Structure 1
Amino acid sequence: MSMTDQQQAEKIAEIFRGRQTLDKLLDMEFIDVGVGHATLRMTITKDKSNVMGSAHGGAIFALADAVFAYACNSQNIVTVASGCSIDFLAPAFPGDTLTAKAQYQGGRGRQGIYDIMITNQDDKLIATFRGKSHATKDTILGENS
């Protein structure tokens, strides 16, 4: 019996969560995944701060990049980043909880565009990230999934 698209996305997310990655080092929390979208959350700690006391841009970027990976691989095609950009709009501070939501915007051929909105616990927009993806010819779960 074959999986639904949603079950397939959840199975891939389960595999990804089982891997030893930067996501775990930074204590990112998986929230949900679906075809072309995903949500992750991370609390800013003192260890994720910069010399000015606000959230380090690299920590925010890592959160956005991680949720991008979940969203763009949700259709059982090994997909990698081919480019990305981030805009920091407001600071976050230790104690803030950031939520990153990725959404597929469209694409052509093997190329895709994903927008990620990063908000804090008050739903204030902290950063936006646009990721460009490139799908390979390989699958994550195998051909018969």
Structure 2
Amino acid sequence: MSEDKNKTAKAIYQKMMEKDYCTQWLDTSLLEIKEGYCKLSMRVRKEMLNGHGILHGGIAFTFADSAFAFASNSYGRVSVSINGNMIYSKAAHEGELLYAEAKALNVTYKTADFDVEISNEQGEVYYYFRGTVYRSSKQVLEE
């Protein structure tokens, strides 16, 4: 993969983050971005917990969706989710550091499928996400 494509993916991430107030609220850190791939980290905070004292499922989904969004838009075309599913295998707790790793599975002219795994520091996978995006003809960096 060329260095130019990686620079483009990073520029797309930076542009999207300027107005992605939800991902800003999650307080994620970008660990890696390249075409078709994104890895983020996030620390579970008290305000992210549900009534059982574990990470709220909607927050886990949002974290996965953020990595999914950056990975799917990294090709340069504006891509928006048209489907997403999550399997909740294990519960995360306050203070845990989580990683969301999004990888392209299948990219066509109009759609793309991605898997996102959310794991802890030991590499245990807590949540499995699979999503599909619609790939428009608009360019992210020309919006």
TM-score (norm 1): 0.92
Moved more, 133-142 or 69-78: 133-142
CA–CA distance in structure 1, aligned partners of residues 18 and 78 of structure 2:
17
- C-alpha contact (below 8 Å) 2:15/2:141 kept by paired residues: no
Match of 1:66 in 2: 66
Query: What is the number of residues matched between the two proteins?
Result: 141
1:20 CA displacement:
4.4
Correspondence 1:76 to 2:76: yes
Deviations 1:43-86 (A, max 9, x none): 11111001001111111111000000000000110000010100
AA in 1 matched with 2:109? G
TM-score (norm 2): 0.93
The correspondence of residues 17-28 of structure 1 with structure 2, limited to 5 A, is: 17-28=17-28
Cα root mean square deviation, aligned: 1.5
CA–CA distance in structure 1, aligned partners of residues 26 and 113 of structure 2:
25
Moved more, 16-25 or 122-131: 16-25
Matched residue of 2:133: which SS?
strand
CA–CA distance in structure 2, aligned partners of residues 114 and 48 of structure 1:
25
CA–CA distance in structure 2, aligned partners of residues 80 and 39 of structure 1:
18
Match of 1:134 in 2: 134
Higher strand share: 2
Deviations 1:7-39 (A, max 9, x none): 111111111222241011121222221000001
Q: Matched residues, percent identical? A: 26
CA–CA distance in structure 1, aligned partners of residues 121 and 113 of structure 2:
26
CA–CA distance in structure 2, aligned partners of residues 139 and 108 of structure 1:
16
Higher helix share: 2
1:142 CA displacement:
3.0
- C-alpha contact (below 8 Å) 2:54/2:93 kept by paired residues: yes
Match of 1:49 in 2: 49
5+ long unaligned stretches in structure 2: none
CA–CA distance in structure 2, aligned partners of residues 108 and 20 of structure 1:
26
AA in 2 matched with 1:45? R
1:108 CA displacement:
2.9
